[in-house]
Structure 1
Amino acid sequence: MLRSNQDSPRIRCQPGSRSYSEEMSSLIRLRLLPRARCFFDEPVQVKVAGLRSRQAVTMRARSTDERGVVFSSSATYRADDGGEVDLNRHPSLGGSYVGVEPMGLLWSLRAEALHQYFEKGKALEPHVVTISVHEEEGRVLAEAANERVLLGDGVTRLSVNEGNINGVLFTPPGPGPFPAVLDLNTFMSEKRAALLANKGFVVLALGIFNVNPETVTEIHLDRFKDGIDFLQRQPKVGSKGVGVISRSMSAGIASLLSVFARDVKACVWINGCGANFFVPLYYKNKQILSSLIFDHSKVIHTESGGSILKYAFTNPLAEENKGSLISVEQAKTQFLFVASEDDLCWDSKTNLDEIMKRLKRQGKDNFESVYYPGAGHMLEPPYGPFCTSSPNGVLKYKTVWGGEPRAHAAAEVHLWKKIQEFFKAQLS
C-alpha cells in the first residue's frame, strides 16, 4: 500500500514554485520489501526512492496498541547520490536511534507517556505500523502501512475452557503430527503462541493469573499439568512429549513442571528465578514450596517514577528461603536457560549461575545456556517495541525492566531463532 500526499499536477511548473515541490513529491516511492504484509517476527526492508541527491528526510513510524495508546518513532536520514534511502544500508543520523538499524523504526516505537508497554496480546488482528517519509519541515512525502500478522493462513485458534484450563489453543494446518508446546505467561498473551504455531507447533497458551493477583493466596501446579495432558490428547500432536516456554515468574512454574510432569521433554526458561515467588505453590492439594521473601525496603525508586526491583528479592539459597528453592536438578527435561545481564526486575544472571552450579554438581548435562549482555527482562519475539518500564501486574510497581534498546533488540532476534531450533531438535 503506497500513498503520496499529493496527486500529480496537470502541468509542468518551474523549479522553486510550490507546484514543482508537489510534483517532485508525487515521484517519491516508499517500498516495504519483500511485501507490506508479513509475519510479526519477520523483518522488512524499508526503501525510499525518488528523492533529490543527498536530500535530508525524516522517517517516522506510528502504531496504536490494543488499549488505544499511540506509539511513535522517528529517525533522520540523508539520501545517497541516487536519491535513495535504504534502511538496510544507510545510517540514521539522529532521532529515536542512530546508525544502521534496518528495523529501528519498529523496536524504537514509544508512547509519549512514561511507563507504557505495547499491548498486543490478541492474535486475530495484525500489528499495523504506519511508516512515512517527511521533508525536514514535516510535510509528508510518502506513506505505507506494514501489516505484521500473528496468525498465519490455516492456523486455527480455539478458546479452551475445560476443567482447570482457561487458555487458547493454536494448531497448524495439515495432518501432523506436530510437536506440542505449553506457552506459560504471567498474564495471558497469545502473541508468542500464535507465532510458534506458524512454525509448525501445536501450542496452548496459559496465563499464571486469570484473576487479580491481589486475590491469589496460593497457586496450584495441577492446572498447568492439566494443560500438558490436554496437549497430548490433541489428534495432531506427536508422541515424543511436550515443550514448555516461559519467562519471568512463569519460568519457575515451567521448571517445576519439568520436575513433576515426566512428559515435559524440553523447557525454555527465560529470565527466571531459582525459587518460587509471590505465594506458596501446591500440587495435588499439598504445599510443595513456600514463597521467596521480597524485601520492599530494598526497592530502588528512580526519578522517572519507575522502580528497580532487582535487589529486593532475597537470596534463594539463604536459610529462610530454602523452602522456596526449586529442585531443578531432579528434572530429566532438556533445558534452554536464558538470562539477560541487564535485567533490573530480578537478577536473572546470578539465578542462572546458581542453577547451573547445582546441575553441574549433580553431574547433569541436560541443559544449555545463553547470556545476553545489554538485554533487559522483557525478552519477547523480535521486532516489537522495546519496553523500558511499565506497571508490574504482580508487585504493583512501575517496574524498570532494564536493557539497552539496540542490544535488547538484537538479543530478541537471536533468541527467537534459538528457541525454534531447540524445540525442533528436542520434540520433532
Structure 2
Amino acid sequence: MLQHSQVKGPGIGLLGISKGGDLCISMASFLKGITATVIINGSVANVGAVLRYKDITIPPLGINQKRIKIDKSGIADIVDVLNNPLEGADRQSFIPLEKAEGHFLFIVGKDDHNWKSEFFATEASNRLQAHGKEKPAIVCYPGAGHYIEPPFSPMCSASMHVVGNPVIWGGEPKAHSVAQVDAWQKIQAFFHKHLSGKQCVTGKL
C-alpha cells in the first residue's frame, strides 16, 4: 500500500466494521506501518475461522448456538452466541493488539445485537493499558445498532447472516442516524490527526 501512488504515507490507516474490525486489529498487531486503526463494532478476538500469520495461529472464538434467540417472525438475536475471550481456552482467540504500534479508535453502537461491541472495546482498552500502551479512544452511541455506516445510509435493522438465519442488528432509526453523522466526523478527525498530523475542523477527537 505504501508503494501505491495514491497513498501519501508515511503510515497507513485502517477502517473495519464487524468482522472487518478484528481483521484490522490483526493487521495492526502484526504488520509494520499501521499508524491509525478504526474499528466499528468489531471484536478484539478472532472470529469465524482460524487466523494464520507466519508461524502464528489464532483459533476462532468459540460459540454456543443454544444461546440464539428466535422471535415470532423467525429473526434471530445472536448477541449472546460468542464465548467470553477472557475465559478458558477461548483466551487463545484474543488478538495480541498490544503488539500494535499505532493508535486505535473504537466506534460502539450500544444497541448492537450482533455481538457485545462495548465489552470488546473495553477489553481492548484494558489490555493495551496493561501493557503500557496508550489508552484507545472509545466512542459509544446509545440507540445505535451494528452497522454504523457512512452518513445518510439506510439503517439495516435485520438481514441474512452467515449463521444461515436472518438476524437482528439492533438500532433505533433516529439515534442510529445521528451516530452515523457524528461517527463519520470523528473517524475523519482521527485519521487527520494520526496520518497527516493536522487537526480536522469538525469532529474533534
TM (norm. structure 1) is 0.45
Flag structure 2 segments of 5+ consecutive residues without an equivalent.
Answer: 197-205
1:267–1:335 Cα contact (<8 Å) kept: yes
Flag structure 1 segments of 5+ consecutive residues without an equivalent.
Answer: 1-230
Question: Which residue does 2:59 correspond to in 1?
Answer: 290
2:99 is the counterpart of 1:327: no
Question: Which residue does 1:264 correspond to in 2?
Answer: 34
1:60-75 superposed matches below 5 A = none
**Structure with higher strand content:** 1
**Residues 300-353 of structure 1: CA distance to partner in whole angstroms, max 9, x if unpaired?**
111122111110111011112021111112211111111111101101011111
SS of the aligned residue for 2:14 comes to: strand
2:143 is the counterpart of 1:380: no
Question: Which residue does 2:178 correspond to in 1?
Answer: 410
2:18 is the counterpart of 1:243: no
Question: Which residue does 1:313 correspond to in 2?
Answer: 82
SS of the aligned residue for 1:235 comes to: coil
Structure 2: distance between partners of 1:339 and 1:332: 22
Structure 2: distance between partners of 1:358 and 1:329: 7
Structure 1: distance between partners of 2:26 and 2:9: 21
Structure 2: distance between partners of 1:237 and 1:296: 42
Question: Which residue does 2:120 correspond to in 1?
Answer: 351
2:125–2:135 Cα contact (<8 Å) kept: no
Aligned sequence identity (%) = 35
Q: CA deviation at 1:288?
A: 1.9
Q: CA deviation at 1:236?
A: 3.5
Cα 1:264–1:408 change in 2 (3 A) is same
1:290–1:324 Cα contact (<8 Å) kept: yes
1:388–1:401 Cα contact (<8 Å) kept: yes
Question: Which residue does 1:395 correspond to in 2?
Answer: 163
Q: CA deviation at 1:423?
A: 0.8
SS of the aligned residue for 2:11 comes to: strand
1:19-98 superposed matches below 5 A = none
Q: What is the one-letter code of the residue matched to 1:233?
A: Q
SS of the aligned residue for 1:370 comes to: strand
Q: CA deviation at 1:287?
A: 4.5
Q: CA deviation at 1:366?
A: 5.2
Q: What is the one-letter code of the residue matched to 1:420?
A: Q
Structure 1: distance between partners of 2:9 and 2:174: 40
Question: Which residue does 1:362 correspond to in 2?
Answer: 131
2:158–2:166 Cα contact (<8 Å) kept: yes
Match of residue 424, structure 1, among 181, 192, 195: 192
**Structure with higher helix content:** 2
Give the CA RMSD over aligned residues: 1.2
Cα 1:290–1:406 change in 2 (3 A) is same
Q: CA deviation at 1:238?
A: 2.0
Structure whose CA Rg is larger: 1
Structure 2: distance between partners of 1:269 and 1:359: 15
TM (norm. structure 2) is 0.91
Greater RCO (Cα-Cα under 8 Å, separation 6 or more): 2
Q: What is the one-letter code of the residue matched to 2:69?
A: I
SS of the aligned residue for 1:399 comes to: strand
Q: CA deviation at 1:360?
A: 2.1
SS of the aligned residue for 2:9 comes to: strand
